[in-house]
C-alpha cells in the first residue's frame, strides 16, 4: 500500500473529449503548419482552432484541427481547399495573405459540425463555414445551413 496525501480541491477534472455540439462558435486561430498527406503524395495546411476563452470559457482548451488540401494531384481537393481557405481569410478581414501566420491570434465565427466516426475512429468536429466575428454574412464555400435551433447557449447564431 502507498500512503499519499492527495487533495482533490486543487486538481482540475478531466476535460470531455466528446465532439462539441454543432453550431457557430467564436474560434481563435492558434497555429498552422504544412504537413505531408498520409500517402506521401501531397501536402496540406493544418490550422489549429480553439474556442475563444472570453466567449466560451466553459469549453476552454478544446481544439479543432482543420486541413486545407492545397498541394495535391487531385484538382477537386485543391479547389475545395482554396475555397475553404478563402472563406477563412475573408472572415479574418483580409483580402490576401502570404503566410498562414498572418491569421494566428484572430478570432472568427466558425460553423462547427460533427463528422461521424468511421473505420474505428470516434466522431470528431470539423469546420464547415466561417464568418466575421461581428456576425457578418457567413463566408461558407457551400452555403448549406443546418440551422441553429439545437445549438447550445454558448454557440454563436
How confident is the prediction along the chain (157 residues), in pLDDT tens digits per residue? 788 878 788 777 776 678 999 999 999 999 999 999 998 999 999 999 999 998 888 888 899 999 999 999 999 999 999 999 999 999 999 999 999 999 999 999 999 999 999 999 999 999 999 999 875 544 444 433 333 444 343 443 3
* Domain of 95, in residue numbers: 18-131
Q: Which residue has the cell 487531385?
A: 74
54 assigned to some structural domain: yes
CATH code, domain with 42: 2.40.50
Q: Quote the number of domains for the chain.
A: 1
CA 37/CA 26 separation, integer angstroms: 28
143 assigned to some structural domain: no
80 assigned to some structural domain: yes
139 assigned to some structural domain: no
- The reported pTM is 0.76
Are 69 and 76 spatial neighbours (Cβ–Cβ below 8 Å)?
Answer: no
105 assigned to some structural domain: yes
140 assigned to some structural domain: no
Amino acid at each position: 500500500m502507498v500512503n499519499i496525501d492527495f487533495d482533490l480541491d486543487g486538481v482540475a477534472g478531466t476535460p470531455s473529449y466528446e465532439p462539441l455540439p454543432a453550431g457557430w462558435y467564436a474560434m481563435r486561430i492558434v497555429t498552422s503548419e504544412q504537413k505531408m498527406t498520409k500517402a506521401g503524395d501531397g501536402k496540406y495546411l493544418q490550422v489549429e482552432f480553439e474556442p475563444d476563452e472570453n466567449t466560451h470559457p466553459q469549453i476552454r482548451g478544446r481544439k479543432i484541427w482543420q486541413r486545407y488540401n492545397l498541394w495535391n494531384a487531385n484538382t477537386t481537393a485543391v479547389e475545395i481547399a482554396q475555397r475553404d481557405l478563402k472563406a477563412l481569410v475573408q472572415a479574418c478581414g483580409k483580402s490576401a495573405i502570404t503566410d498562414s501566420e498572418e491569421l494566428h491570434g484572430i478570432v472568427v465565427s466558425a460553423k462547427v459540425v460533427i463528422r461521424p466516426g468511421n473505420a474505428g475512429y470516434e466522431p470528431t468536429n470539423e469546420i464547415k463555414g466561417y464568418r466575421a466575428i461581428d456576425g457578418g454574412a457567413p463566408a461558407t464555400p457551400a452555403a448549406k445551413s443546418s440551422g441553429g435551433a439545437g445549438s447550445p447557449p454558448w454557440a454563436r447564431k
